[in-house]
Structure 1
Amino acid sequence: MKHLNATDRDMLARQLELMKSQVLKELRESAPGVHSGSTDDAHDVRSHADEAETERQDDVRFAEIEVDRLRLSEIEQAQQRIAEGRYGICIDCGEDIPRDRLLAQPTAIRCATCQALAEAGHRR
């Protein structure tokens, strides 16, 4: 974290906090609508296609919630690394993650080289 000056650290901490606020807002907004199919009127005539579409929409909503939960976890882990003085250090090689990479991806846990290797390993 020595490669980041105090201004960089403050800016990245604020950026993470803004990201966290946005994700929490998205989670709050998506939660009430998860059970969209439960408000059906008993007199509505519904086809299997209607039911399938409602189920598909719920599946998409659940997937979006899961993505938001993962993003929230990554943000909170980055905030924890800042608090512990481990922020900006690649978890694989131990080298500094370049400032520009952190500015573009504040939750990054690897340098670009190690990230590419990790992704290549998952593709096999």
Structure 2
Amino acid sequence: MIHGDEADVAAELEQRYRELALARLRAAPSEEPDEDANGNRFCLDCGESIPADRVTAVHAVRCVTCATRRERLARQRAPG
């Protein structure tokens, strides 16, 4: 059980949801990254270099632009 005032409870819940979301992303089957011999990673869609911070944070295989485009298309195609 979470204790504290409403702001503390909200912050704790937000942190838990964020950690769960990141865990799901890390556990999900991923596509094989396109990396060079130095460990630099490149977007599977456009071939642009992916910043190391993004790779570390979300194990990215796509640049922000291409990932955003794919997410937008997936939302448009989703039933609902």
The structure that is helix-richer by fraction is 1
User: TM-score, normalised on structure 1?
Assistant: 0.36
| Structure ID, larger Rg | 1
User: TM-score, normalised on structure 2?
Assistant: 0.50
